[in-house]
């Protein structure tokens, strides 16, 4: 049985409306502020004592911009306004997230005239509230802090949230009426020349790094580079390592070296019973398997992970740009895109990998490409002889050359680097976040889905044709070249095995004004689910999707995100978290809970957990 879409509608209702309070709460619901079961000030004071003062009240950072708030401060507001679009800023705040629309955008920074930084002229009149941000946050720096938070949330029957950097496109780093564990300040990276998992003798040792929960991609890449090594992690520098690998974890190295989950050797986790566990293939192997792809914030709070490391390879980067000169002939552009994508299996076999973006008209400031779509990519090769990228791309150049300057403009170039870090560091910058509302959908596309350029071109054109009545702030297509052919084939990880067959991880993102409520954004969400993602599924019906960058309202998310692994993951969730101390939308075990009309998380009375074992 599948209750996902109904649960999603309940979520939408619950998060938009006002939060009434109850004098009595059924024990099948989590307690929220205003309930008699909500912890008292004395309870929180006692918790703060246990934490040695590490309990932080949840205060939206932009509250300093509102004259009605007790912490109003014009100078502090100027700092918030100057940094609001920086991922580093939101990562460094106890409760703020990269996409605050998922917390109802309840307190955006405003200018003195009351207009929000993203253009909502009524933001000042709406005022600032906590919205769906956590009520309290534990600034965790030790495992003991995490244990105390987990035990408190379980004992008091309140929602537990986990945030490291807040880099979640589906809002999984925030939760209404919750106590949050903020792991951002749990730091430390330890190099192991010869790592051996605890109580787990192996025939061979492995170069590795043990990484604390608060470390980010840049921290890890810099530490690895000091040892002339690499570790598989993300492309954006402010992504947290733990959240990255928990659902799979692709990056600029993953096509060659595997996803993040393929490289996990051991992890330490505080499970919902408050126990600290070291898990690996020998210690609690079921939980270790679930952590390698079953999703973050689901089976416990991870406090560290140990991952494989490799010698850093000589690297090169192929940069490509293509745009249409005559906007009246869009079909030509999409036919060329489809042809090039049909060549991707060959490019992948040759070692190319990386990220690409198809950007709509006007998306690139300063470029005279304001009336047509533009394709940009930076694809990497590792340990390949000079000239490899040029040779791989030569047939495509031959196809494009006769059209260059008349129908399209394109450029193709290659640059070499002595190692991976030199390449990555020369191409990375701070990621822009909090720029508006957005929804994502994606599909893992195998080689056979790319074999028919004519069909592929039609799908691409349908994806980018505006539907009547839909108001959005634009679309971006992202055909990413990041899959590894071995992922999931031996059953050692819990991501969907569709990763092992994928050539592309294809994302479509669609934006909308962040002043929109959940109800007002419904047309965009429905268009994503029933038009965009449906079109991608038509190319690869039996494939799947990457949980961290997928449609959270996918009615078939259990299979799409986890494939045949879901039934086993569901049982492991019940074993380690029978009371659902941890919950997030479209995460393992989320079917049996949903927010009610007040935003309170309650059990869904008609959902039988055992039915999910039988049906999947």
| From 168-182, 304-318, 387-401, 471-485, the region with the lowest mean pLDDT | 471-485
Supply the pTM of this predicted model. 0.93
- Whole-Å CA distances, 580 to 161, 469, 476, 577: 12, 39, 35, 5
| Residue pLDDT, tens place only, 516-548 | 988 899 999 999 999 999 999 999 999 999 999
pLDDT at 15: 36
Look at residue 130 and tell me whether its pLDDT is greater than 90: yes
- The owner of tokens 């940094």 is 83
Share of the chain above pLDDT 70, in %: 91
* Biggest CA-to-CA distance, the chain: 76
Task: Evaluate if residue 553 carries a pLDDT over 80.
Answer: yes
| C-alpha pair distances (Å), 583 with each of 95, 282, 432, 579 | 17, 27, 27, 10
Q: Which class in CATH covers the domain with range 189-311?
A: alpha beta
What are the residue boundaries of the structural domains of the chain, listed by start? 30-182, 189-311, 315-561
Sign of CA dihedral 538, 543, 545, 551: positive
Residue 348's alpha-carbon distances to 251, 380, 408, 447, in angstroms, are: 15, 10, 25, 10
Average pLDDT over residues 85-98: 96
Q: Which of the four pLDDT bands, split at 50, 70 and 90, describes residue 20?
A: very low
Task: Give yes or no for residue 1 having a pLDDT over 60.
Answer: no
User: From 3.20.19.10, 3.30.43.10, 3.30.70.1350, 3.40.630.30, which CATH number describes the 30-182 domain?
Assistant: 3.30.43.10
CATH architecture of 315-561: 3-Layer(aba) Sandwich (3.40)
């Amino acid at each position: 049985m599948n209750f996902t879409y109904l649960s999603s509608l309940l979520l939408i209702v619950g998060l938009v409306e006002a939060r009434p309070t109850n004098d009595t709460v059924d024990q099948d619901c989590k307690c929220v502020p205003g309930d008699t079961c909500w912890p008292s000030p004395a309870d929180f004071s006692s918790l703060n004592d246990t934490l040695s003062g590490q309990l932080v009240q949840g205060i939206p950072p932009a509250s300093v911009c509102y004259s009605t708030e007790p912490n109003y401060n014009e100078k502090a507001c100027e700092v918030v306004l100057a940094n609001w679009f920086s991922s580093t800023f939101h990562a460094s705040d106890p409760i703020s997230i990269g996409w605050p629309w998922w917390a109802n955008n309840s307190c955006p920074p405003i200018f003195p005239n009351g207009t929000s930084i993203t253009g909502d002229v009524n933001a000042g009149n709406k005022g600032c509230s906590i919205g769906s941000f956590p009520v309290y946050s534990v600034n965790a720096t030790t495992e003991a802090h995490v244990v105390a938070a987990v035990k408190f949330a379980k004992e008091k029957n309140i929602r537990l949230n986990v945030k490291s950097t807040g880099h979640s496109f589906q809002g999984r780093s925030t939760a209404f009426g919750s106590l949050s564990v903020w792991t951002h300040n749990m730091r430390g990276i330890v190099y192991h020349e010869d790592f051996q998992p605890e109580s787990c003798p192996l025939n061979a040792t492995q170069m590795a790094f043990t990484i604390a929960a608060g470390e980010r991609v840049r921290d890890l890449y810099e530490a690895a580079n000091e040892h002339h090594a690499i570790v598989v992690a993300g492309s954006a520098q402010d992504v947290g390592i733990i959240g990255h690998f928990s659902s799979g974890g692709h990056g600029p190295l993953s096509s060659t070296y595997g996803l993040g989950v393929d490289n996990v050797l051991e992890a330490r986790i505080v499970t919902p019973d408050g126990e600290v566990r070291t898990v690996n293939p020998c210690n609690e192997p079921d939980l270790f398997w679930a952590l390698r792809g079953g999703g973050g914030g689901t089976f416990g709070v991870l406090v560290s992970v140990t991952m494989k490391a490799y010698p850093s390879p000589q690297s090169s980067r192929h940069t490509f740009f293509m745009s249409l000169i005559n906007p009246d002939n869009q079909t030509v552009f999409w036919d060329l895109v489809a042809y090039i994508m049909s060549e991707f299996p060959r490019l992948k076999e040759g070692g190319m990998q990386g990220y690409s973006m198809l950007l709509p008209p006007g998306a690139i400031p300063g470029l005279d490409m304001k009336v047509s779509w533009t394709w940009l990519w930076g694809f990497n090769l590792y340990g390949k002889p000079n000239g490899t990228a040029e040779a791989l791309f030569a047939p495509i150049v031959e196809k494009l050359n006769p059209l260059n300057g008349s129908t399209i403009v394109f450029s193709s170039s290659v640059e070499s680097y002595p190692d991976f870090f030199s390449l990555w560091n020369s191409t990375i910058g701070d990621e822009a976040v909090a720029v508006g509302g957005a929804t994502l959908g994606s599909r893992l596309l195998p080689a056979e889905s790319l074999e028919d350029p004519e069909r592929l071109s039609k799908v691409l054109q349908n994806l980018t044709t505006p539907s009547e009545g839909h108001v959005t702030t634009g679309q971006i297509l992202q055909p990413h070249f990041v899959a590894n052919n071995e992922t999931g084939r031996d059953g050692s990880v819990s991501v969907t095995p569709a990763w092992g067959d994928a050539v592309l991880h294809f994302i479509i993102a669609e934006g909308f004004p962040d002043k929109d409520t959940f109800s007002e954004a419904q047309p965009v969400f429905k268009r994503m689910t029933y038009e965009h993602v449906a079109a991608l599924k038509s190319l690869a019906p039996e494939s799947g999707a990457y949980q961290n960058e997928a449609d959270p309202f996918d009615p078939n998310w259990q299979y799409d995100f986890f494939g045949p692994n879901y039934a086993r993951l569901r049982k492991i969730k019940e074993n380690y978290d029978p009371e659902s101390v941890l919950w997030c939308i479209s995460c393992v075990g989320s079917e049996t809970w949903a927010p009610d009309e007040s935003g309170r998380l309650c059990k869904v009375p008609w959902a039988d957990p055992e039915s999910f074992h039988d049906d999947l």
